[in-house]
Amino acid sequence: MDTIVTIHMFGEVYKFKAEAGVADANEVAEFLMEELARVEKDLGAQAKTVTKTAKLLLATMNIANTYFNLKRQHVETVSELAERSDALLLALESVSVSPSAE
């Protein structure tokens, strides 16, 4: 079953249908709204003169920046884990296990 996501933005209501199986569609929408609120807060008094499109673009760029930073961190973490796993495997393979005396 599809999920209907409702976003209240700039005094208007937008409804989107999220594909079945898409997890946390409402959470994603809420994240967008929080980022948009942060952009407006950061703009301060200037927020009144900045267009809705520009505010959305700034929020989108902030989200994209966060995404790419997390993606880079993920790649670095996977690489580090692979190196550590390889080192542990080599250490385990180098340990000579002698049969226990019975």
> For residue 25, is it within any domain?
yes
- Domain of residue 85 covers 3-93
Q: Which of these, 8, 7, 9, 10, lies nearest to 48 by C-alpha position?
A: 10
The residue with greater pLDDT, 32 or 4, is 32
> For residue 73, is it within any domain?
yes
> For residue 102, is it within any domain?
no
> For residue 61, is it within any domain?
yes
> For residue 49, is it within any domain?
yes
**Residue 21 in this model has a pLDDT that exceeds 90:** no
Distant-in-sequence, close-in-space partners of 63: CB < 8 Å, separation ≥ 6: 31, 32, 35
> Mean pLDDT across the stretch 30-42?
93
Domain count, the chain: 1
- Residue 76 confidence class, pLDDT cut points 50, 70, 90: very high
> For residue 87, is it within any domain?
yes
Q: Provide the strand spans (E) within 1-102.
A: 3-9, 12-18
**What is the structure's pLDDT at 86?**
94
**Residue 9 in this model has a pLDDT that exceeds 60:** yes
Helix (H, G, I), strand (E, B) or coil at 1: coil
